[in-house]
Each structure stands twice: as structure tokens, then as C-alpha cells.
Amino acid sequence: MTIMNLLMPVAGLIKARYRGEKADIDSQFFKLHYRTTATLFFIGCLLVTANDLIGPTINCFGPDGVPGNVLNTYCWIMSTFSVPGSNSASTYHDGAIPGLGPKGPNGEKVVHAYYQWVPFMLFLQGVMFYIPHYLWKAFEQRKMNKITSGLRGKTILESDQRRDACENLINYLWETRGTHNGYAFKYLFCDSLNFINCIGQLFFINKFLGGVFMTYGTEVLNFMSMDDENRTDPMMEVFPRVTKCTFHHYGSSGTIQTKDAACILGLNIINEKIYVTLWFWLLALIAITSVYLIMMVALISVPSLRRSLVTRKATADKKDRAYHLVEKVAIGDWFMIFLISDRKSVV
């Protein structure tokens, strides 16, 4: 039995993989990052920039003699703040708005300037989740598209044409055997970047929100299970809906006058929902990607797993040759077969 004959199971493995017009160059786990997650961030970016959903992003009132549009612009640019001591549940039920009230003896306040940057950060993070896919496309150089060009779409109707296309693919795999290890390494590198990016984005959001994102989701879950009398909404603490703003201007005699204003941040109603969704999704994505990377390392390290992955896709009359196929080829060659094969069982 020649090596060329051992490569014949490839013809059966590509039966359903390339029915579409475009070659598939990555896994479904890879797509969770650059398709699902990047889209999630871009949708969030669109939501926080669609002011028609919530009205004005900031609406301030309080000082007499200061035009509303001037006050809104000033407080948006200079940022607003809240008073930490007034966020307790008792203060809330006494009738005061959480975050408002006189400053404590030390003049403590929490400045909220992040809302100016939320749409930019969401867009940047969406791009970051797309970068590993962009790098893989640059590394891949449309190789999979070229070698399977005669096997995709609905143009291959004659069995002779399909057989010729399969033979051309087999000849290519035979002539380039042992040269695909770098191709496989680049894919694994980009796959690892997906995991590193997930971890990095989690810490990046935590830093952006002032160190509260790591426990944000758990606090929201605890809040939902607490009694109404004893609970404080963590989403209102991270994304306050009403904040304070101090407006300075000169009086008639030239003395600087300080006026206090309250600002309604309608945008935070959307921000709080976006980030609690991102918290749960990123943790789930990290867990899924971790399991996937462990599986990939196991496939590289354990030849028997690679054998079972190929032989389970082969038809009954080709299982023996498929078994010998993965015994003979290098890891890079196996990876090429893995990409061009159908992920479902061949019928």
C-alpha cells in the first residue's frame, strides 16, 4: 500500500466540508471570539451612541441663572461625581438619592469620567477581539481557499470533475508533506491569542471602571437574592443614574461663586446592562476557550486522539487507510487534513 493510497481517505473527508463558496479556515471556538464577541462589543457601542433610545445623555439642573445647555456641556466635559457616604441603603430609604448629599468631613468624592469613553472603549475592545482572526488570515494567505477551489460551491456536479479535484488535492498534500508544521503553529498561536485577549480584556475593563468589574456580576446576583429592605443596587453604584456637578463662575464683583448641580445620566441605564452582560459572557468565553485549548494540546500530544478524530469521519471501507494516514503524517499535515475535513460524520 503506497502513501498515495493512504491519502485517499481525504477525498471522503471533504464530502460536506466545502459545500459553501468560502473556505472555512478556523474552528467554531475561534469564531466565538471574532464573530460573536466582537459583534457583542460593537452592538454595545451602537447602543450607547443611540441617544434617541434614552434622550439626552446628561441633563443637569440646579443653579439659577446658568443656561441648561451650558450646564450640561460643562458637566459632561468636566465630569461629575458622587458622594460615597450617601450610597447606603438607609440613606436611600430616607428619601435621598444615592450618591447625592453633602460631602463628608474629608471631602471624599468619586469622580465619574468613564462615561465619556464608554463607546470608544467598546469599539476598541471589539477590534481587539477581531485582531487574532485578522492575523490568522494574514498568516494563512488563502491557502485553504486555493487548494479547495474546485471542491466548493454548487458548480461541481459531475462525479468525474469532483474526482479530478480530489486527486489534485491529494497530489498537493503528497508533494508538500512535512512542510505544514509552521502553518499549524501559526494557527495555534492565534488561537492562544484569543485566550490571552479574553483575560486581558477582563482586567482592562476592571481598570477602566475603577477596580469594580471583577466582582460586578456576583454582586448583581447577590443583590437579586437579597431582601428589598437591606439591599443596595450595585449597578447604581458602578453606573450612578444621578450625580453631582460643581459649577464655578464669577459673580458681579469678580468673586468666584460655586454652585451645586444634580445631573441625570440616562446613558448609565444602558451602560449597566451592557457591562453585566459582558461580565457573564467573558467569564463563559474564558471557560470555553480554556477547555478548547486543553483539547488542542491533548490532540498535539496524544497521537491516538488524532487517529480517532480522523477515523470517526471516514466511511467504513476507508477507516483502515485513514488510521494509517495519521500514523504516517506529521502534525502539520494532520492539521491540514483536520481543516479540510468535514466536522460532521461523513454519510
pLDDT reading at 85 higher than 70: no
Whether 106 shows a pLDDT value over 70: the answer reads no
pLDDT score of 53: 63
User: Contact at 8 Å (CB) between 210 and 65?
Assistant: no
The per-residue pLDDT for range 309-320, each reduced to its tens digit, is 666 655 555 556
CA 121, 194, 312, 178 dihedral sign is positive
Higher pLDDT, 84 or 345: 84
pLDDT at 151: 67
Q: What is the pLDDT of residue 32?
A: 93
Query: What is the Cα–Cα distance from 265 to 262, expressed in whole angstroms?
Result: 10
Set of cell numbers at residue 78: 468636566
Q: What pLDDT does 89 receive?
A: 44
More confident residue, 324 or 202: 202
The span from the CA of 61 to the CA of 24, in Å, is: 56
Q: What is the mean pLDDT of residues 14-22?
A: 47
**Average pLDDT over every residue of 144-149:** 76
Beta bridge partners of 265: none
Q: Are 199 and 128 a contacting pair, CB within 8 Å?
A: no
**DSSP states of 115-184 as a string?**
GGTHHHHHHHHHHHHHHHHHHHHHHHTTHHHHHTTTSSSS---SHHHHHHHHHHHHHHHHHTTT--HHHH
Q: Identify the residue with better confidence: 224 or 76.
A: 76
CB atoms within 10 A of CB 317: 9
Confidence of residue 347 (pLDDT cuts 50, 70, 90): very low
Query: What is the maximum span of the chain, computed from C-alpha positions, in angstroms?
Result: 102
pLDDT of residue 51: 66
Considering only 33-37, 163-167, 240-244, 271-275, which range has the smallest mean pLDDT? 163-167
Q: Give the pLDDT confidence of 170-214 residue by residue, as tens digits.
A: 777 777 777 888 888 899 899 999 999 999 999 999 998 888 888
Residue with the three cell numbers 500514523: 327
pLDDT band at 16 (very low <50, low <70, confident <90, very high): very low
- pLDDT tops 90 at residue 128: yes
pTM for the model? 0.77
DSSP notation for 64-131 = TTS-HHHHHHHHHHH-EEE-GGGGSHHHHHTTPPTT-S---TT---EEE-GGGTHHHHHHHHHHHHHH
CA distance 262 to 62: 6
Q: Residue 148 burial (CB < 10 Å; 0-12/13-18/19+)?
A: buried
